[in-house]
Amino acid sequence: MQDEVRALLILQDRDRRLIGLAKDLEKLPQDEARAKMKLASDEAAVTKAHQALLDCELRVKKIELDAETRRTTIKRLKMQQFETRKNEEFVALGHEIVRYEKDLDDFETKELEAMDEVDGFRTAHKAAEAARAHTRTLVEEDLASIKQRHARMEADRKEVLAERESLLANVPESVIPLYNRLMKTKDGLAVAPMRDGKCEGCHMKLIASTVMKAQAGKEIAQCEDCGRILYVEE
């Protein structure tokens, strides 16, 4: 294998590593967004549970207010009944008192039921908060891991870039434009092996002159179909 092709293979290895690192770095924001989305779902659950608890507590307060209004009215009616000297008015006030006492009994029953509901919503809210706390711990761990991966990959990328710069000195300047163009257009595989008279890049059969050129190793041989630089594996 001629030296310039060997140098291109080493350069290609570093460039492919850079391509892989770039793809992995591009995925990190998506991984971060997915991690945060897990917490967002639990945040929404806590908000929903909290609002349900507040609504139920508000309903209890309204029932308590209605019940207290009935108690006040009953006291007032009993006072009027005590003060009246008219039998008909006394009986009418008695009917009103019975009606309000029935309302009060209904409100007190509703109040007990609503308070039980408050206990249920309070339990659900605490459970949602506990789930959120657990998820937050997991998400924070994920985000810390993503941050570490990002730092590690950036360090690797800088190291490979520095190495690539030194490797360029071993590649003839006349070949670099061709190599760079092929790396962009051929999915990061500019230099491919020739095997059994075929280009392993596109798997097309090569003409005899190209095979002989690659085997001779005296000059750059390219696949006539895909244009990749060819070499014979040793």
Note the pLDDT tens digit of each residue in 189-230: 999 999 999 999 999 999 999 999 999 888 899 999 999 999
Residues 192, 199 contacting (CB under 8 angstroms): yes
pLDDT of residue 233: 82
Neighbouring CB atoms inside 10 A of 70's CB total 20
Give the pLDDT band of residue 85 (cuts 50, 70, 90). confident
pLDDT(59) > 90:
yes
Chain segment 12-48, per-residue pLDDT in tens: 999 999 999 999 999 999 999 998 888 998 999 999 9
Average pLDDT score over the chain: 93
Chain segment 143-165, per-residue pLDDT in tens: 999 999 999 999 999 999 999 99
Residues 54, 122 contacting (CB under 8 angstroms): no
Share above pLDDT 70 across residues of the chain, in percent, rounded to a whole number: 100
pLDDT of residue 1: 53
For residues 111-131, give the mean pLDDT: 96
At 88, list the tokens: 């008909």
Q: How far apart are CA 152 and CA 142, in angstroms?
A: 15
Neighbouring CB atoms inside 10 A of 128's CB total 21
Q: How far apart are CA 153 and CA 77, in angstroms?
A: 82
pLDDT of residue 218: 86
Determine the angle formed by the axes of helices 176-185 and 3-83, rounding to 10 degrees: 40
pLDDT(61) > 80:
yes
Contacts of 125 (CB under 8 A, 6+ apart): 46, 49, 50, 52, 53
pLDDT(3) > 90:
no
Residue ranges of domains in the chain, CATH in brackets: 18-170 (1.10.287.1490), 176-232 (no CATH)
Looking at the chain, list the stretches that DSSP marks H as alpha helix, in order from N- to C-terminal side: 3-83, 87-167, 176-185, 208-216
pLDDT(176) > 80:
yes
pLDDT of residue 2: 77
> For residue 47, how many C-alpha atoms fall within 13 Å in the half-sphere facing its CB?
6
For residues 161-185, give the mean pLDDT: 93
pTM above 0.85, yes or no: no
More confident residue, 3 or 132: 132
Q: How far apart are CA 98 and CA 85, in angstroms?
A: 19
pLDDT of residue 49: 96
Calculate Rg over the CA atoms of the chain: 41
- Give Cα separations from 59 to 10, 70, 110, 212 (angstroms): 74, 17, 10, 91
